[in-house]
Amino acid sequence: MKVKIDRMDHQGRGISTLNDKVVFIPNTLPGEEVDIKITRENKKYSEAKVEEYITKSIDRIELDCPYYEICGGCHLRHISYENELKYKENKIHDIIKKFTSYDTKLIKPIISNDKEYYRNKVTFHVDKQLGFYNIKSKNIVEVDRCLLVDKNINEVIEEIKNINLDNVYEIVIRSSKNLKEKMLVLKLKEKENMEYLKEQLKSFNTIITYYNKKYEVVSGSGYIYDQIGDYTYKISPDSFFQVNTDGALKLYNKVLEYLKPTKTDDVLDLYCGTGTIGIHVSKYVKSVKGVEINKYAVIDANNNKEINKIKNIEFECLDAKDVMNVKDKFSKIIIDPPRSGLDKKTIEYIRNKNVESVVYVSCDPITFARDVELLKDKYELVELTPVDMFPRTYHCEIVAYLERIKNENKR
């Protein structure tokens, strides 16, 4: 079936119509004519794959990764990085226009990052072969390298393939971009003592096995360290740590700029993870309180506080929806929620808190748009900067500055 691509959707796919139904087709660009095969049929839309390109867009570039069309880790390798940044800016403009009452003039130019080798963490699946899941099945696509993953990780893929992986179903490799340390986590089907790996895999600072929900250290300390800006962070096997280390510094510096910190500020860092944003801003403010649901992240956050000798930060393990139980007073709030955005109680808390400003870090522009609308009679969205934390994928982070409305009749 022949179709022409009209535009792109928010997941980097081309959109066309076939028999009055919308069709989403990955790896296609506006203006291209393609012969397609339907891969999934829904009531309201279909998904398809390209059988043949009849005409190609002048924006299409040569593919540089043999796994692109099967592994599903990247969505935009078929356009230049320059065009990818334009696509992401347009996407954020579209979402703000469609889902909020704000003018898109408040959106600043996107902050770019290195488009290759930026990820400090990778998960490989193992089943006879080592690689990523095929985008449409759970079959493993064997890989020798990945253009998104830190070069230090790519260098050890061959080494890992040479060990006996019969008892391993998943492998996680974490590397520290700035301190050049590497962690290997082997997830095991059966409990096994893997001491022998110490000799075989010397390039790892630490090797850890995982079986029956428990981590066991085979070699090294069980963690690695990395730096973001002036601070050092301890990374355990399951710590949340931004996967783009260089991008994280740019993101955190934007947060700092929007925070407009002063030495009298008491800041709430809500959804603080391992405390990285709070620590990053701590020297510019009077105090920071980090709130996070994951108790292991809070343990890491307290370690990070010690490592960096920070005195004016505290962490509390709490669900954000219970944040009203935190009795401290705050002048400013930073929020960095998961994709789902803010729940009703957290929105209510922020609405009633009467702080000067809110810095909202979001990895999902649609839930972000919903939340700023729910806050709009109390806080005005003043400025927003997209940050490309995940080049070659459709994902785009946002940092936004919201200011308390003094005269509530203003809007």
Ligand X SMILES: C[S@@+](CC[C@H](N)C(=O)[O-])C[C@H]1O[C@@H](n2cnc3c(N)ncnc32)[C@H](O)[C@@H]1O
Query: So which residues are the catalytic ones?
Result: 363, 397
DSSP bridge pairs for 132: 141
**Residue 300 contacts residue 321 (beta carbons within 8 Å):** no
Handedness of CA 407, 409, 410, 411 (dihedral sign): positive
Query: For residue 55, how many other CB atoms are within 10 A of its CB?
Result: 10
Residues that bind ligand X (CB under 6 A): 240, 242, 271-274, 276-277, 292-294, 297, 319-320, 336, 338, 363
- Between 138 and 295, CB nearer to ligand X: 295
Contacts (Cβ under 8 Å, ≥6 apart) of 340: 364, 367
In the DSSP assignment, the letter for residue 112 is: P
The residue number with the shortest CB distance to ligand X is 273
- Between 67 and 223, CB nearer to ligand X: 223
- Between 48 and 281, CB nearer to ligand X: 281
- Between 156 and 317, CB nearer to ligand X: 317
- Between 165 and 172, CB nearer to ligand X: 172
β-strand 21-25 against 45-55: which pairing, if any?
parallel
Inter-CA distances, 2 with 6, 11, 55, 265, 288, Å = 13, 22, 11, 60, 58
User: Token digits for 257?
Assistant: 């700029």
Cβ at position 146, least distance to ligand X in Å: 22
**Residue 113 contacts residue 397 (beta carbons within 8 Å):** no
Cβ at position 297, least distance to ligand X in Å: 5
Cβ at position 194, least distance to ligand X in Å: 29
Please report how many Cα atoms fall inside a 13 Å half-sphere around the Cα of residue 55, on the Cβ side.
10
- In degrees and rounded to multiples of 5, residue 347 shows phi and psi of -60, -45
Name the burial class of residue 8, with classes exposed (0-12), middle (13-18) and buried (19+) by CB atoms within 10 angstroms of its CB: buried
- Between 32 and 292, CB nearer to ligand X: 292
Cβ at position 366, least distance to ligand X in Å: 15
Cβ at position 52, least distance to ligand X in Å: 40
Cβ at position 294, least distance to ligand X in Å: 4
